[in-house]
A and B are shown apart, each in its own frame.
Chain A
């Protein structure tokens, strides 16, 4: 008899992010298919009432909340204490939470405190034959595993974008406050704020419909024997502006930036896709001047429609990694694309 706790934190302003609703959806589905299970919700933040109200129509039996100024910031010590307290109050056996940076930071530690286990970056969650089963990827999205475990509480962190969002409506939720003892040692860290590039310099857009990936080919010698980095810079920026795509990059192109070679200044390690980079989720992805090698393309695991522009008809994209490969000069194609998008 599992008690499924959905653990979420509101965003600044008090509302729940889409990722929280995705975790909720997964938990609700699990609850419906797991006979005899109980579903409860736990919220941690500055003020959680509005968040609770926004999902009040969901089939949760109870709402628990930890509120207060101490919990307004994403900080390990206080978040862990809060999550621990909620789990205990709810007597949770399964905890489903969105894999946000805030929860990724603390929940495995909370699992340790409670003698349970945590599985992170979970993409699928179901009840199979009465047992809870999760899917997650291993070796940088190279292989997918399905697993079960007996240890409880079991923390399951659901990757944002992996599940549909719960569309349940709002109402008035009754939130049972949970008291949390916070020794002074919990306040040794203070969050100073968020650092981000200026709005028009931000190239990472998680909600974009399209991921635009640039490879090292943009900075290599072209058919005329010269490099054309300033032109590449202009074309890429132009495309991003016109398409509102999110910018990704191969590792080789990002690494070139660190070697004193001609560089695209708006690129950093944060843009890297695959290898030690990200595995973003976007409905579409367009790769340019990139060879399509496995360590990079593993980062494309969650991109649905894929197209590539490369001068090499035998590159990795040609064989099963992309839907369409355009064997063409990206400089020419993107220039024209930018022109058309501007219309």
Chain B
């Protein structure tokens, strides 16, 4: 059984080795929850170890965490939460002490109509829009938006808070490390888990001083092997180690991870005279395309986080996020608040939208999965941070139990302690409610919304059925998608012309299909590349291999659509020679959208695409995500 899916077979080199008790992959909210709980109980009040290390006798357990991003605050993005698990772990948590935090105040859900006329709406939706227009005098209708007078309880975040994940993670990381029992190393991606037979024995760090293909070059430094009795995998929904284990051990029967979304977000300075108060939470749907959900959360000091989610059931062969985000911002209802504002920073990430059904094996011999990569994101309530944190604390409690009882980290023991706790918690009960809630979207947006409402209100007992297709199965061809809108010869010319110039085609196609040009102002509406420079430039250190690879180039040659090019959050993937795309590491923000935005299945596994997304360095450098 090959453990090399996450990396091409490395050259046979002498690798240095280090031994630890516990090694964590990724420092996101899940691992933060894990380490916060764990670190508090490793040392007694008098300084003696509460539990003894196996690799360093006489000392507390040696706990190491390796984070890919250049700093602990850079690799995450997330913003509004009920914060139940967070507050349980951090009872003294003072919102005033966390930058950009505010208690949730006014919440609104808005249905955005289409003021531009280019959005693709079903007949049902058009009828609804006409009805709304006809009765707008009687409805809470304002600037082409309907403020839903009633929103289901499951969407509310009342009692929660709005904050900056990046800032919170920096704070949490500092707290954890100040206990002296844990080290969190940023800028250190884990290439793969070390596996012997059916047991995970540690991790291997990424090789440095290699060329684009990963072959040794100047200053070659092989990635170190860190051996540990327990490997905690919290590397997110697109993390390479998680995906390696999924390849190796498979998912539990009937589980699959086919639903995704890419979330793209701006942090903005609102105009000085803004009427929006801190803690305001707006959720939108309907525009720029019905499948695209939006959000706007207001922090203190006139700062707002806002953005959209572009899901895998938005079946466009040129789907993209940045351009749609710009159109969304200009919707009259939102633009009234945003016009005159200034862009501070930008970011993007993939969300695992399969929820409970996308769960991998939560534990195995020598490893456990926590966080979004273990299916914690609740797609009904649209929340993930608190859930990820909760899974981390549950694992920590389990680990402490096993350490104190001197029991090994076997699959059985971890299931009896960690998985049992997880299944007994609100994490499980709420995940079950959410489990089928999104299935309706596979039939369309209106069925999707109805399905969500049904599931939410019935506690998960009712849902609109739909069979999630694999992402690559759903994408129509360019010709089919624009059939009746753009004449075929013109369509092909636009596409060929763009790809010959090495740029994506969605902007030209969208404009041809009726979307207005973006009126750049250099402050809020800026070019895609300019956004990568704001709030801390997207960058990548030299000496590492390309972490996105097109491993079946023959398929790329045949692919007429280049969805990967269109969706890439940083424009890091561009059309290349012979149809095989080019990848520029220095623009990649590691959102992972490419891996599920490919129209071709991997010949080796129909659940995977032809795009490989591996461990890599660099990415966002924003302190505010």
Contacts and interface: CB of A to CB of B under 8 A. Distances in A.
B533 interface: yes
B530 A314 contact: yes
B554 interface: no
Contacts of A293: 533, 537
Nearest to B217: A260
A260 B218 contact: yes
B527 interface: yes
Interface string B505-535: 0000000000000001010001101100100
A314 B527 contact: yes
Given A225-B577, A293-B533, A293-B537, A314 B218 contact: no
Contact of A314 (B502, B526, B537): B526
A314 B517 CA distance: 14
Contacts, number: 25
Contacts of B526: 314
Nearest to B537: A293
A87 B359 CA distance: 77
Contacts of B217: 260
A314 B502 CA distance: 17
B214 to A, nearest CB: 16
Interface in B473-523: 501-502, 520, 522
Interface in A297-330: 312, 314-316, 318-319
B520 A314 contact: yes
A318 B521 CA distance: 11
Query: Per DSSP, are chain B's interface residues mostly helix, strand or loop, or mixed?
Result: loop
A314 B533 contact: no
B542 interface: yes
A323 to B, nearest CB: 16
Nearest to B530: A314
A200 to B, nearest CB: 30
Contacts of B533: 291, 293, 316
Interface residues of B, number: 15
B42 to A, nearest CB: 41
Contacts of B530: 314-316
A259 B529 contact: no
Interface in A94-116: none
Interface string A192-232: 00000000000000000000000000000001010000000
B529 A314 contact: yes
A293 B531 CA distance: 12
Interface string A234-266: 000000000000000000000100011000000
Nearest to A320: B522
B342 to A, nearest CB: 13
Interface string A29-60: 00000000000000000000000000000000
Nearest to A313: B527
Contacts of A225: 502, 577
A316 B527 CA distance: 11
Contacts of A312: 527, 529
Contacts of A259: 218, 542-543
Nearest to B586: A252
A319 B522 contact: yes
A29 B218 CA distance: 57
A343 to B, nearest CB: 35
A293 B529 CA distance: 11
Nearest to B522: A319
Contacts of A260: 217-218
A319 B542 CA distance: 30
Interface string B536-556: 010000110000000000000
Contacts of B542: 255, 259
B462 to A, nearest CB: 50
A91 to B, nearest CB: 50
A225 B542 CA distance: 22
A316 to B, nearest CB: 8
Contacts of A319: 522
Contacts of B529: 291, 312, 314
Contacts of A223: 501
A225 B520 CA distance: 28
A44 B526 CA distance: 55
A27 B533 CA distance: 43
Nearest to A255: B542
B441 to A, nearest CB: 35
A312 B217 CA distance: 32
A95 B520 CA distance: 50
A217 to B, nearest CB: 13
8 contacts: A255-B542, A259-B542, A259-B543, A291-B533, A314-B520, A314-B529, A316-B533, A319-B522
Given A225-B502, A312-B527, A315-B530, 10 more contacts: A223-B501, A225-B577, A255-B542, A259-B218, A260-B218, A291-B529, A291-B533, A293-B533, A314-B529, A319-B522
Closest A-B pairs by Cβ, 5 of them: A314-B527, A319-B522, A260-B218, A259-B542, A293-B533
